Amino acid sequence: MEPATKTKKQVGLTGNSAVAYAMKQIDPDVCAAYPITPSTQIVEDFSSYYADGKVGTELITVESEHSAMSACIGAAAAGARVMTTTSSQGLALMWEMLYVASGLRLPVVMTVVNRALSAPISIQCDHSDSMGARDSGWIQIYSETVQEAYDNLFQALRVAEDARVLTPAMVCMDGFITSHAIENIALLDDSEVKDFIGEYRPKRSLLDVDNPITLGAMTLQDSYMDFKHEQSKAIAGAKAVVAEVGKEFGERFGRSYGLMECYRLEDAEAVVIVLNSAAGTTKVAIDRLRDKGTKVGLLKPRLFRPFPHEEIASALAGTKAVCVLDRADSMSGFGGPLFSEVRSALYGRKGCPPVIGRIFGLGGRDYTVEHAFGVFGELYDILEKGKVEKPFGYLKP
Amino acid sequence: MKKEKEKEEGKTVPLGGVITKAGSAADYFTGGWRKLRPVVDKGKCTNCLICWVMCPDSAVIVEDGKLVGFDLEHCKGCGICAVECPDKVKAIKMEEEAG
Ligand code: SF4
Ligand code: SF4
């Protein structure tokens, strides 16, 4: 029997409204945020919920994103359930504090509405903001659709607050493409949300005067590395928790989530790997190419941090050519970040397929079905010629 | 041996670098940083204890309301006590540590 909630309460919402609504349902203790395009509407909607008394949250309107994250850290250290949201320069301004949140092991949950970084200034979508924070010790979950962004927020909260993890998490979705497009999505009941997320009971709190603690003390050569080692193990372990929580979400609400989505991948020869909304466009191209008898498929990582290297490598076993599409350039002269990770995951594996990387969609440049056709065409060229001529580069407009 | 192993596995560090024991700063000997040592002229000192209030490392030793000396395991030689000692008194001099 299909779970009752699968299609109930279908409503048309933008990605931003859906996230704000999810935050209303979560009703966090504290939200400190500074609005920035294209995530502004999340803060606007949530402020309305706050003003109308729909949430019990303490909303802290700060003067910058650095302060927003600082306030989140303070509140989380005091034992509060804390959420925020940002984009682009806002995330860049939080950079210093991102590491403090993760190092102190405070499970703050943040929606990142992906937008390009300046200069030149652009308010449009790409992933340079969240990719810039990929080594900050935050869990990163990417969302293709409004429904995924909505569902991911509840799951991110569960994962971040899990006693085995205790690590902050960001949920990413594409600026404008997802944040501003209206999609018909299924909402959960408030009671379903409450049941799923449960109560947050932190083990320690700065406000617990009977058990005083010091946070952020200096560590020297004898201990800093041990803390980092602990943190590294915790975030690596988050992979299993993401899978566990995604499965439970499916059992309860009918929409299951794994570490990645494999679309028509089982017998695929040529595979595209891409994050977020571009996966949808690629799926359309795949369906059309499949109709003509071509064996093409998609791998869409959902979890990027920690990186599911084993699962991705296994899923690609049997494929003959792979193209990783990056919506960010790591300016290494060696392709984008997702490309590097995927190639590294495959390195040394038996029968490792050739992997090429293409940068696409920077600053909101369109990625169309035609582009996807072009990418698959390149992969079939490699299969025909038996060699890779251009391992990485920019996608042609 | 067991401790070494635990450390290897990172089990002995508290989550997020939190310190749960109060007063643990006393276990760290900031005196090792000292280049200048505070020396008090007891003849001038009025025991106003401003230095005791201002010392960032609680290294001014006071007994029965009187300054009796400095805890050199924790005095890091910052010279704040010498500066803060009232102008009319100036009972503390900072002297080079020998060697
Ligand atoms: S030199 Fe600094 S640390 Fe030492 S006693 Fe004076 S104020 Fe304290
Ligand atoms: S501040 Fe000067 S006068 Fe006052 S107790 Fe200290 S050394 Fe003595």
Whole-structure pTM value = 0.91
* Residue at B72 is within a domain: yes
Q: How many domains does chain B have?
A: 1
Q: Looking at the domain assignment, is residue B30 inside a domain?
A: yes
CA–CA distance, A77 with A215 (Å, rounded to integer):
8
Would you say residue B2 has pLDDT above 50?
no
Whether B15 maps to a domain, the answer reads no
Q: How far apart are CA A297 and CA A376, in angstroms?
A: 10
Which domains can be identified in chain A, with CATH numbers?
Answer: 10-253 (3.40.50.970), 260-394 (3.40.50.920)
Mean of pLDDT over chain A: 96
pLDDT band at B10 (very low <50, low <70, confident <90, very high): very low
pLDDT digits (tens, 9 = 90+) for A268-298: 999 999 999 999 999 999 999 999 999 999 9
Residues with CB under 6 A from ligand 2: B 40, 45-51, 67, 85, 89, 91-92
First to last CA, chain A: 46
ipTM: 0.74
Kind plus residue range of the DSSP H or E element containing A314: helix A309-315
Alpha-carbon distance values, A330 to A127, A128, A131, A210, A341 (Å) = 10, 8, 8, 48, 12
Bridge partners of residue A262, in order along the sequence: A299
Calculate what percentage of chain B has a pLDDT beyond 70: 88
Name the residue of B52, B57, B67, B93 to mutate for ligand 1: max ligand atoms within 8 A of Cβ. B57
Residue pair A327/A178 in contact by the 8 Å Cβ criterion: no
Predicted pLDDT of residue B22:
82
CA distance A49 to A53: 6
Confirm if A190 and A25 have CB atoms less than 8 A apart: yes
In A230-354 the beta strands, taken as DSSP E runs, fall at 260-263, 270-273, 296-301, 303-305, 321-326
Contact A230 B19 (CB under 8 A): no
User: Can you give the CATH number for the domain in which B89 is found?
Assistant: 3.30.70.20
B1 and chain A in contact, CB less than 8 A: no
How do residues A86-131 score in pLDDT, each as one tens digit?
A: 999 999 999 999 999 999 999 999 999 999 999 999 999 999 999 9
Res A4 pLDDT > 50: no
Neighbouring residues of A275: CB distance < 8 A, sequence distance ≥ 6? A127, A142, A172, A300, A301, A304, A327, A338
Report chain B residues whose CB lies below 8 A from the CB of A229: 10
Query: Distance between CA atoms of B2 and A392, rounded to whole angstroms?
Result: 49
CA distance A113 to A38: 6
pLDDT in tens, A295-338: 999 999 999 999 999 999 999 999 999 999 999 999 999 999 99
- The neighbouring-strand residues paired with A323 are A272, A356
Boundaries of domain holding B53: 24-96
- Looking at the partner chain, which of B7, B10, B17 has a beta carbon nearest the beta carbon of A217? B17
Over the stretch A67-98, which tens digit does the pLDDT of each residue have? 999 999 999 999 999 999 999 999 999 999 99
Partner-chain residue, chosen from A106, A212, A217, that has the shortest CB–CB distance to B22: A212
Return the SS3 of A183. Answer: strand
Residue B3: inside a domain: no
**pLDDT tens digits along A13-71:** 999 999 999 999 999 999 999 999 999 999 999 999 999 999 999 999 999 999 999 99
Which H or E element spans position A112? Answer: strand A109-114
| pLDDT score recorded for residue A341 | 98
